Homo-oligomer: A and B are copies of this chain.
Amino acid sequence: MLPIAVDAMGGDNAPREIVAGATTAVTDHGIPVMLVGRPEAIGATDLEVIAASEVIEMDDDPGQGVRRKKDSSLVRAAEAVRDGRASAMVSAGNTGATMASALLRMGRLPGVARPAIATPIPVPGGSPTVLLDAGANAECSAEWLVQFAQMGSAFSRQRFGVDKPRVALLSIGEEDTKGSNLVKEAHALLRDAPGIDFIGNVEGRDLMSDAADVVVADGFTGNVALKTLEGGIKFIVNAVLGAMMASDEAREAAKVLMPALAPLAEDLDPDTHGGAMLLGVNGVCIIGHGSSSARAVVNAVRVARDMVETDLVGQVAAAVSAG
């Protein structure tokens, strides 16, 4: 397998945690990895390095960043995939710039109107719900939502082994008559769309449940839902942890509860699931959380390896062309 190109400069903890995670992926999991970035920032390493002199910062404008910083780690990583030097790219950097780099350098798959970001939402005790579009396209047409359903179904199959993914549309009521004009139009198209198993509308409260395997939304709604969920969970988890640290007695009590809470904490940790996937581009592109730790990078590289080996890109292309 060709190495996976990891953007060493992307994310709040770059390059230290990124390099550490990439190294662990090689040493502990035997996955070939190359680092992309400033050699002097990366430091001494046994891994192959593609030198890139520039960095697209977290707050750079994505389009401008990609156009102007042609020697940036993100652009060079996407070019490595395009040029057949790498099998996939992974970045925890600027999400918009990661998308733009992948789109402009790898290109779209034939027939894909717009790539979409697919984010796994943890469903403790079950297979994650794939939410897409989680933010690539703030304005969408109903036809794009149908393609998101097809691409998301392929991802759910390849990534989580769901044989016949149940696809739902994110709305404000289960009835077909509820929702925005876009949702009503998309509902009608999804009902007749080939190659997917459309089960109807779901609500925001169903995202963390087993109600559907794939939930489709425009990128604005999907991103609002995702960030609302992250914010709410973070808030409660911090409040519970705060209560557990409130006194010596509480700390002792917390120790008793930890074995029962640990699997939940593991499932809710964004570092566990290896990041979001950009679907619809001609290559595997994983978008990690900005705060990715070394563990998150290891998991992202493992997911990238799996998606290369099971030919996610070919499956997404087939799903879209059949639809």
Which residues of A come within 8 Å of B, CB atoms? 124, 135, 138-139, 170-172, 178-181, 183, 203-209, 217-221, 223-237, 239-240, 242-244, 246-247, 249-250, 252-254, 256-257, 260-261, 264, 268
Q: Distance in Å from the Cβ of A20 to the closest Cβ of chain B?
A: 27
Q: Distance in Å from the Cβ of A178 to the closest Cβ of chain B?
A: 7
Q: A237 is contacted by which of B220, B236, B242, B247 (Cβ under 8 Å)? A: B236
Which secondary structure dominates where chain A touches chain B?
helix
Chain B residues whose CB sits within 8 angstroms of the CB of A253 once the complex forms? 252-254, 256-257
- What are 24 of the A-B contact pairs (CB < 8 Å)? A124-B239, A138-B178, A138-B181, A139-B181, A171-B220, A179-B220, A203-B227, A204-B230, A204-B231, A207-B232, A209-B231, A220-B221, A221-B224, A224-B225, A229-B232, A232-B233, A236-B236, A236-B268, A239-B264, A244-B260, A247-B260, A253-B253, A253-B256, A253-B257
- Could you tell me the distance between the alpha carbons of A242 and B208 in the complex, rounded to whole angstroms? 16
Chain B residues whose CB sits within 8 angstroms of the CB of A260 once the complex forms? 242-244, 246-247, 250
Chain B residues whose CB sits within 8 angstroms of the CB of A219 once the complex forms? 172
Q: Which residue of the partner chain B has the closest CB to A138?
A: B180
Chain B residues whose CB sits within 8 angstroms of the CB of A246 once the complex forms? 260
Chain B residues whose CB sits within 8 angstroms of the CB of A179 once the complex forms? 138, 220
Given contacts A208-B231, A250-B257, A257-B250, contact A224 B170 (CB under 8 A): yes
Query: Across chains A and B, which 10 residue pairs bring their CB atoms closest together, nearest first?
Result: A205-B231, A204-B228, A204-B227, A243-B260, A253-B253, A253-B256, A172-B223, A232-B232, A180-B220, A246-B260
Contact check, B234 vs A261: say whether CB atoms are below 8 A apart.
no
- Could you tell me the distance between the alpha carbons of A227 and B240 in the complex, rounded to whole angstroms? 22
Chain B residues whose CB sits within 8 angstroms of the CB of A250 once the complex forms? 256-257, 260
Q: Which residue of the partner chain B has the closest CB to A236?
A: B236
Contact check, A228 vs B225: say whether CB atoms are below 8 A apart.
yes
Q: Distance in Å from the Cβ of A181 to the closest Cβ of chain B?
A: 6
Q: Distance in Å from the Cβ of A232 to the closest Cβ of chain B?
A: 4
